[in-house]
C-alpha cells in the first residue's frame, strides 16, 4: 500500500494537475496573451469573421522591452516572430514561454496569419512584415495586425494581455445587373493592382512595393468559372467571390483596371470612386450596370455591421 501511495503521488506531480484534476495556475510573471478582433475599428467582411480568430490558426509574436524611469532606454528584442497558436476562446499558446523582468516595460506586436519574415533584431525599429498577395481570390490570406505599445506587468501577475486584431487589407466585391434585351454570359473578372507591400505592425500602415521598379501591377483573378455564368435579364448576379487588396490612395486607385468579359466583349474599367481611395478594414461593393450599348460602374462602401454605407456616383 505504501508503494502504491508513493506511485500515485509521483503520477500526480508529473501530471501537473491539482488534486481536484484542474490545471495549475499560470506561472507567475509569465507573458501570456489572448486574441480578439476589433469590431469597432474593423469594418471588413473578409474571410475572418466574428470576434475571435479561428482556433488552430497561427500568429507571429514580436516584443521589445526597455528600462522604466530615466536614463538609457536599453531596448531589447524579447520576441522575434515567435510562432503562436490560437487555442480555445482566443488563448494564444507559444513556446518557449517568456517572462516579465522587474523594472522593464514592454511593447507587444502580432500579425495573423504567421508569416516567415527576416529576423527582427533592431529594437529601435518597429517590426514589419513583407506581404505578396495571392493572385486568386480563393487562395488569399486575411492579414491582420495588433499592437500593445506599453505594458508594465504587476509583480507576480498572471493576467493575459489582449491583442485586438484589425484587418490590414480591404475587400473588393462585384455584382452585375443585366439590363440588356436578353440573357448574356459572364466569362470572368480580373483586376490589375499593386500586389505587394510592407505592413507595419505598430500602426497597420502600408508601404507599397513598386514591383520590379516599374508601374506594372499584378493581375488578380476575382472570378473565373469553369463554365460561363448565364446572367438573367433585369436581374442582379452577385459574384460569389471577393478579392483582398492593399489599401491605396485615390490616385493609385484610378490607375487600377477591372477587366470584365461579358457576352464575348472585354470591358476595361478604371475605378474613380470612392474619394480618398481604398482604406484598410473596409469592404467595397462595385456594381456593373450592363446594357446592350455599354456598361457603367457604381461603388458602395460596406461596413462590418449591416448599416448603409451610402451610394457613390456612377462612373460613365
Which stretch of 38-52, 96-110, 150-164 has the lowest confidence by average pLDDT?
A: 38-52
Instruction: Specify whether 177 is located in the same domain as 96.
Output: no
* pLDDT (average), residues 203-210: 80
**Cβ pair 30, 92 in contact under 8 A:** no
CA atoms of 150 and 107, how far apart (whole Å): 5
pLDDT of 115 > 80? The answer is: yes
In a domain, 144, yes or no: yes
pLDDT tens across 234-247, in order? 999 999 999 999 99
The model's confidence at residue 313, banded by pLDDT at 50, 70 and 90, is very low
Question: Is 132 found in the same domain as 47?
Answer: yes
What is the span of the domain harbouring residue 209? 170-303
Residues 109 and 195 grouped into a single domain: no
What pLDDT, in 10s, does the model give residues 244-283?
999 988 888 888 999 999 999 999 998 887 888 888 888 8
In the chain, the DSSP E strands lie at: 33-37, 58-67, 76-86, 91-94, 104-112, 128-132, 144-151, 161-167, 170-178, 184-193, 196-200, 206-208, 218-223, 229-231, 235-245, 257-262, 265-269, 283-291, 294-302
- Tell me, yes or no, whether 3 lies in a domain: no
- What mean pLDDT value characterizes the chain? 81
pLDDT of residue 295: 85
Q: What's the pLDDT score for residue 80? A: 95
Residue where a domain stops, chosen among 167, 192, 221: 167
Residue 294 Rama label (left phi>0; alpha psi -120 to 50; beta): left
246 & 274 share domain: yes
CATH number of the domain enclosing 59: 2.60.40
Q: Is residue 281 part of a domain?
A: yes
* Co-location of 90 and 189 in the same domain: no
Residue 19 counted as domain residue: no
Is 38 inside any structural domain?
Answer: yes
Please give the model's pTM, rounded to 2 decimal places. Answer: 0.81
Instruction: Name, in order, each residue with C-beta under 8 angstroms of 11's C-beta and a sequence gap of 6 or more.
Output: none
For residue 139, being part of any structural domain is answered with: yes
Number of domains, the chain = 2
Determine the 3-state secondary structure of 4 from DSSP. helix
Q: CA 58, CA 94: separation in Å to the nearest integer? A: 10
Q: What is the mean pLDDT of residues 21-49?
A: 62
Per-position b or e across 91-122, b if 16+ CB within 10 A of its CB: bbebeeebebeeebbbbbbbbbbbbebeebee
Both 279 and 229 in one domain: the answer is yes
CATH number at residue 275: 2.60.40.2630
DSSP percent split of the chain into helix, strand, coil, nearest 5: 10, 45, 45
Are 42 and 157 part of one and the same domain?
yes
pLDDT, residue 227, reads 95
Q: Domain boundary residue among 167, 190, 221?
A: 167
What mean pLDDT is predicted for residues 292-309?
Answer: 61
pLDDT at 202 over 90: yes
Instruction: Please report the pLDDT score of residue 7 as a whole number.
Output: 39
Question: Looking at the structure, do residues 99 and 208 belong to the same domain, yes or no?
Answer: no
Residue 196 belongs to some domain of the structure: yes
Alpha helices in 151-282 (DSSP H): 250-255
The answer to whether position 309 is within a domain reads: no
The reported pLDDT for the residue numbered 211 is 47
Question: In whole angstroms, what is the distance from residue 197 CA to residue 276 CA?
Answer: 19
Amino acid at each position: 500500500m505504501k508503494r502504491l501511495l508513493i506511485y500515485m503521488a509521483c503520477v500526480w506531480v508529473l501530471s501537473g494537475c491539482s488534486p481536484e484534476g484542474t490545471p495549475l495556475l499560470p506561472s507567475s510573471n509569465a507573458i501570456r496573451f489572448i486574441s480578439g478582433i476589433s469590431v469597432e475599428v474593423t469594418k471588413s467582411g473578409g474571410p475572418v469573421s466574428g470576434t475571435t480568430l479561428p482556433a488552430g490558426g497561427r500568429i507571429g509574436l514580436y516584443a521589445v522591452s526597455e528600462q522604466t524611469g530615466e536614463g538609457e532606454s536599453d531596448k531589447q528584442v524579447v520576441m522575434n516572430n515567435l510562432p503562436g497558436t490560437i487555442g480555445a476562446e482566443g488563448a494564444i499558446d507559444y513556446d518557449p514561454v517568456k517572462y516579465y523582468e522587474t523594472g522593464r516595460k514592454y511593447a507587444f506586436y502580432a500579425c495573423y496569419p504567421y508569416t516567415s519574415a527576416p529576423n527582427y533584431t533592431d529594437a529601435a525599429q518597429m517590426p514589419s512584415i513583407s506581404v505578396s498577395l495571392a493572385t486568386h481570390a480563393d487562395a488569399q490570406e486575411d492579414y491582420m495586425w495588433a499592437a500593445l505599445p506599453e505594458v508594465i506587468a504587476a509583480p507576480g501577475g498572471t493576467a493575459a494581455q489582449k491583442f485586438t486584431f484589425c484587418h490590414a487589407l480591404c475587400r473588393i466585391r462585384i455584382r452585375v445587373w443585366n439590363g440588356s434585351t436578353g440573357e448574356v454570359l459572364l466569362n470572368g473578372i480580373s483586376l490589375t493592382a499593386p500586389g505587394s507591400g510592407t505592413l507595419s505592425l505598430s500602426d497597420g500602415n502600408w508601404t507599397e512595393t513598386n514591383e520590379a521598379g516599374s508601374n506594372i501591377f499584378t493581375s488578380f483573378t476575382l472570378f473565373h468559372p469553369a463554365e460561363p455564368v448565364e446572367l438573367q435579364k433585369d436581374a442582379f448576379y452577385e459574384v460569389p467571390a471577393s478579392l483582398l487588396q492593399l489599401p491605396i490612395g485615390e490616385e493609385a486607385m484610378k490607375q487600377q483596371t477591372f477587366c470584365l468579359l461579358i457576352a464575348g466583349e472585354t470591358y476595361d474599367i478604371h475605378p474613380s470612386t470612392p474619394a480618398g481611395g481604398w482604406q484598410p478594414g473596409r469592404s467595397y461593393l462595385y456594381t456593373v450596370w450592363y446594357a446592350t450599348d455599354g456598361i457603367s460602374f457604381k461603388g458602395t462602401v460596406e461596413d462590418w455591421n449591416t448599416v448603409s454605407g451610402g451610394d457613390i456616383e456612377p462612373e460613365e
